[in-house]
Structure formats: structure tokens, C-alpha cells
Amino acid sequence: MLRFAAESLLIKMSECVDRIHKADPLFVEAHPGLELRPLQDTRNAVAHGWDIVDDNLVWSIIEMNIPVVALKIRQFLDGDDSTLEGSVDPS
């Protein structure tokens, strides 16, 4: 049950990235420090490689990577994008 919840979270997060991309096609590439593209890649691996995905790897992503990405997004939304290593100034 926990596995399906973790996979669902990754899929929903990727859907958010897709919506951002549809609204502003350059945003994801312009802000690599937010690590949005890897979210989409992870979703694709989970959704399409469901029969070969390592459950421990999925849990590791949920446990270690998602909190870091969430913090970066929160900082960006709060106007503090100075900590986003690899970000490109969109102006």
C-alpha cells in the first residue's frame, strides 16, 4: 500500500511539472536548480517501468530527494532563489 502511495505522489508531482511546462514552456529549463525535469523522468520510469522499478529506489527518492526539491521550490516561491544552484536568470 505504501509503495502505491509513493508512486502516486511521484506521478502527481510530475503532473504539476507538466502543467507548469504547458503554462510556460521555458520555465523548467530556465530553472534547473529546482530539479523539475528529474521529477518528470522519475515519473516516467515509475509509470512505464512499473515491472522493473526498484521499490527501495522509489522510497529513497521519496525520503531523501523530494524534501530537498520541496525546500528549493518553497524558497523560490518565497522569492529566495539565491540558493538554487544551477538556476538561470530568466530575464
In a domain, 66, yes or no: yes
pLDDT band for 84, please (50, 70, 90 cuts): low
Q: Considering the domain boundaries, does residue 73 fall inside one?
A: yes
- How many independent structural domains does the chain possess? 1
Q: Would you say residue 41 lies in a domain?
A: yes
| Domain contains 38 | yes
Closest CA relative to residue 15, chosen from 45, 57, 44: 44
Which residue bears the cell 508512486?
A: 7
As a whole number, the mean pLDDT across the chain is 84
Q: Quote the CA–CA distance of 14 and 44 in Å, as a whole number.
A: 9
Residue ranges making up the domain that contains 55: 2-83
Task: Say if 89 falls within a structural domain.
Answer: no
Counting residues of the chain whose pLDDT is more than 70, the rounded percentage is 88
**Residue 12 belongs to a domain:** yes
The answer to whether residue 24 is domain-embedded is yes
Whether 80 contacts 74, CB under 8 Å = no
Rounded Cα distance between 17 and 56, Å, is 24
Percent of the chain with pLDDT over 90: 20
Output Rg (C-alpha) for the chain, integer angstroms: 14
